[in-house]
């Protein structure tokens, strides 16, 4: 699911991060993990990290959260909290009693630990329990979509690129968004990129240039 995993983190910790006004300086590498932007994103806050899809900012903040859960609630807290929120995207790849994968790049959408389908992602976004997430996403990403707006609406969009399971050298593109009443998810075939996904979503929703 690539960078759509960042939406799951926003569901889990977004309000906490927003209230703490988190920030991070992305230099392109963190503890051996490379950001997709090898030059780094520079200093980012939550909104910028989400819009620019900074992997390392989300990784750093999620690791801080996991340490806080352990300190406040015990060693099992991180696994329990993550299992509850990430369950729709784990399938049977993480079985009960199995050792939890180290909190790393897999949990921000790299690799194939987290998977979804357009229908499953749209259903997840449309769940009544996601009202708080949708509100946060609107605050962080609402109104502007790659220099365009959606005429007469309050849409926000999150794009991403993900490796194809079983063929990590090939990627596919995702775009997900919502206006609070309707959620849409677009997944392009293997080999298609994020720019094409953004362009296609513009066509589908009749975006109007600013």
- Over residues 68-107, the pLDDT tens digits come to 988 888 877 777 888 889 989 987 766 655 566 667 888 8
How confident is the model at residue 171, as a pLDDT?
Answer: 81
pLDDT interval class at 186 (50, 70, 90): very high
Closest by CA position to 137, among listed 159, 108, 158: 158
Is residue 207 located within the same domain as residue 103? no
Is residue 8 located within the same domain as residue 100? yes
- Over residues 128-145, the pLDDT tens digits come to 999 999 999 999 987 666
Is residue 39 located within the same domain as residue 15? yes
Is residue 45 located within the same domain as residue 4? yes
Is residue 202 located within the same domain as residue 139? yes
Is residue 105 located within the same domain as residue 152? no
Looking at 115, 134, 169, the residue that finishes a domain is 115
Looking at 91, 115, 139, the residue that finishes a domain is 115
Closest by CA position to 24, among listed 11, 8, 35, 15: 35
Is residue 78 located within the same domain as residue 154? no
> 149 is in which domain, residue-wise?
116-210
């Amino acid at each position: 699911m690539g960078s759509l995993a960042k939406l799951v983190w926003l569901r889990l910790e977004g309000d906490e991060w927003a209230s703490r006004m988190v920030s991070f300086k992305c230099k392109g590498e963190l503890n051996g993990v490379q950001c997709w932007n090898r030059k780094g994103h520079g200093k980012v806050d939550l909104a910028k990290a989400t819009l620019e899809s900074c992997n390392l900012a989300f990784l750093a903040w999620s690791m801080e959260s996991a340490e806080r859960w352990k300190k406040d609630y015990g060693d099992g807290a991180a696994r329990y909290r993550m299992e509850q929120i990430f369950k729709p995207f784990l399938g049977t790849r993480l079985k009960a009693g199995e050792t939890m994968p180290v909190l790393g790049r897999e949990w921000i959408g790299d690799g194939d630990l987290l998977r979804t389908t357009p229908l499953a992602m749209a259903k997840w976004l449309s769940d009544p329990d996601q009202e708080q997430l949708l509100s946060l996403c609107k605050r962080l990403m609402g109104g502007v979509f790659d220099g365009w707006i959606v005429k007469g609406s309050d849409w926000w969009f999150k794009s991403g690129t993900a490796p194809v399971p079983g063929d990590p050298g090939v990627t596919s593109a995702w775009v997900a968004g919502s206006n609070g009443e309707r959620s849409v998810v677009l997944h392009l075939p293997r080999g298609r990129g994020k720019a094409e996904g953004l362009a296609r979503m513009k066509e589908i929703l009749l975006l109007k240039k600013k």
